[in-house]
Amino acid sequence: MPWYMGRRYTIKQLPPELRPRERLLTEGAEALSSAELLGILFGIGSKEKTAVELASEVISENGNLFGLYNVKMQLPKHKTACASVPRTANRGQRPGV
């Protein structure tokens, strides 16, 4: 077991060479686990879990990454950055284009 697995660390507390986003930039996507890649897409965790831990749970609950294909996303009840983007009649287009 790696030294950092003995207790819970936030991503910011890990040395830069162990952080998923930095590893993606230096080593490439093939060096990261599915949970690390999905965690990068999540961008943020919760008070209890890092984004990578949440991603690992989501993957486990759905069998594997392919199991995420039909998952419905639940948005948090608080306002997010996505909530400020106006909806357009043509879903595939960006506003103002």
Tens digit of each residue's pLDDT (9 = 90 or more) over 28-85: 999 999 999 999 998 888 888 889 999 999 888 888 877 777 777 776 676 555 544 4
Whether the Cβ atoms of residue 51 and residue 40 lie closer than 8 Å to each other: yes
> Where residue 94 falls among pLDDT bands split at 50, 70, 90?
low
* pLDDT for 45: 85
With tokens 């103002």, the residue in question is 96
Buried b (16+ CB within 10 A) or exposed e, 77-90: eeeeeeeeeeeeee
* pLDDT for 75: 67
Q: What's the pTM?
A: 0.61
> Residues in the chain, how many?
97
Residue 20, Cβ density class (10 Å: 0-12 exposed, 13-18 middle, ≥19 buried): buried
On the question of pLDDT at 27 being above 80, the answer is yes
